[in-house]
């Protein structure tokens, strides 16, 4: 079951690293870092931290970075609704057009829609993504956000921080810190996008 799940998850992920190379979809599973419960607990904790750090939900908006930041943002919204009884505005961001490696990558990425159906002017934006790695995606997301308006604050929430930053960027909320080597791949699988619920550590093959 474990391996079946991994296989489905890997198949559904065409992962492009921002450092310029297409990461092979094949990888040897080494370790399961989080299971369904682990992910649920991490989301729950991040949700509480967001409310706590911002002293409530006033001016808070959630924006998920495509692809897996989107379901994560939705879960955070749902969780906060459960304990704060507010429905935070939620948007989704496609950062492709802001990538700094378009001219060097082999396969041109498909552009998806950015949907932020509210003004972010003066708001506290919680950017949500699955993995924080080099920081380049977050950088692109910051640029994309600022083109949409002038928020008062932007905070970053990620499920996994695997280190190896190439830019001065850090997350405000982290589900789990996972020290990795550069030969390893972190693969986040979510029910909405991949059909399973787990985080895997893979060895590049």
Partner 1 sequence: MKWKRKDLLDLENLTAEEIKHILHTAIPMKEILGRPIKKLPTLRGKSVVLLFYESSTRTRTSFENAAKILGADTTNFSVAQSSVNKGESLLDTAKTLQAMNVDLVIVRHSSSGSAEFLADILNAGVINGGDGQHAHPTQALLDYFTIQDHLGGFEGKKVVIVGDILHSRVARSNVVGLKKLGAEVTLVGPPTLLPPEMKYLGVKISHHLDQELPGADAVMALRLQLERQQSGLFPSIREYSKLYGLNKERIKLTGKDTIVMHPGPMNRGVEIASDLADSVQSVIEEQVTNGVAVRMALIYLLIGGGTVNVVD
By CB under 8 A, name the one of 87, 104, 181, 205 that touches partner 1: 104
Q: Minimum distance between the CB of residue 108 and partner 1, rounded to whole angstroms?
A: 2
Is 143 a residue that touches partner 1 (CB under 8 A)? Answer: yes
Radius of gyration of the chain (CA): 16
Is 108 a residue that touches partner 1 (CB under 8 A)? Answer: yes
Angle at 22 between CA 130 and CA 129, to 5 degrees: 10
Is 78 a residue that touches partner 1 (CB under 8 A)? Answer: no
Query: Long-range contacts for 143-146 (Cβ within 8 Å, ≥24 apart)?
Result: 143/98, 144/93, 144/94, 144/95, 144/97, 144/98, 144/114, 145/63, 145/93, 145/120
Say which DSSP state 22 is in.
B
Considering beta carbons, is residue 35 or 147 the nearer one to partner 1? Answer: 147
Considering beta carbons, is residue 24 or 146 the nearer one to partner 1? Answer: 146
Cis bond before residue 138 (omega within 30° of 0): no
Is 25 a residue that touches partner 1 (CB under 8 A)? Answer: no
Is 22 a residue that touches partner 1 (CB under 8 A)? Answer: no
User: In this chain, which stretch among 69-77, 95-103, 160-168, 182-190 interacts with partner 1, using CB under 8 A?
Assistant: 95-103
In the chain, at which residue ranges do the beta strands (DSSP E only) sit?
27-34, 60-65, 90-93, 124-132, 153-161, 173-177, 184-189, 198-204
Is 181 a residue that touches partner 1 (CB under 8 A)? Answer: no
Is 37 a residue that touches partner 1 (CB under 8 A)? Answer: no
Contacts with partner 1 by CB under 8 A: the residue count is: 22
Is 105 a residue that touches partner 1 (CB under 8 A)? Answer: yes
Task: Quote the tokens at residue 183.
Answer: 């030969």
Count of beta carbons in the 10 Å neighbourhood of residue 97: 13
- Each residue 146-165 as x (binds partner 1 by CB under 8 A) or -, in order, gives -xxx----------------
Q: Is the dihedral of CA 28, 191, 169, 32 positive or negative?
A: negative
Is 14 a residue that touches partner 1 (CB under 8 A)? Answer: no
Is 58 a residue that touches partner 1 (CB under 8 A)? Answer: no
Is 23 a residue that touches partner 1 (CB under 8 A)? Answer: no
Binding site for partner 1 (CB under 8 A): 94, 97-98, 101-115, 143, 147-149
């Amino acid at each position: 079951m474990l391996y079946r799940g991994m296989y489905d998850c890997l198949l559904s992920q065409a992962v492009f690293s921002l450092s310029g190379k297409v990461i092979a979809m094949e990888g040897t599973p080494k370790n399961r870092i989080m299971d369904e419960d682990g992910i649920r607990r991490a989301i729950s904790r991040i949700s509480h931290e967001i409310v706590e750090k911002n002293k409530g939900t006033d001016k808070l908006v959630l924006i998920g970075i495509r692809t897996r930041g989107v379901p994560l943002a939705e879960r955070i919204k749902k969780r906060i609704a459960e304990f704060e009884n507010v429905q935070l505005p939620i948007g989704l961001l496609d950062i492709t057009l802001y990538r700094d490696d378009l001219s060097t990558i082999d396969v041109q990425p498909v552009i998806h829609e950015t949907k932020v159906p509210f003004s972010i002017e003066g708001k506290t934006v919680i950017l949500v993504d699955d993995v924080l790695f080099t920081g380049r995606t977050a950088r692109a997301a910051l640029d994309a956000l600022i083109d949409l308006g002038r928020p008062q604050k932007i905070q970053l929430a990620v499920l996994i921080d695997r280190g190896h930053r190439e830019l001065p960027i850090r997350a405000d909320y982290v589900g789990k810190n996972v020290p990795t080597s550069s030969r390893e791949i972190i693969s986040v699988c979510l029910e909405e996008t991949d059909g399973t619920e787990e985080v895997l550590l893979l060895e590049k093959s």
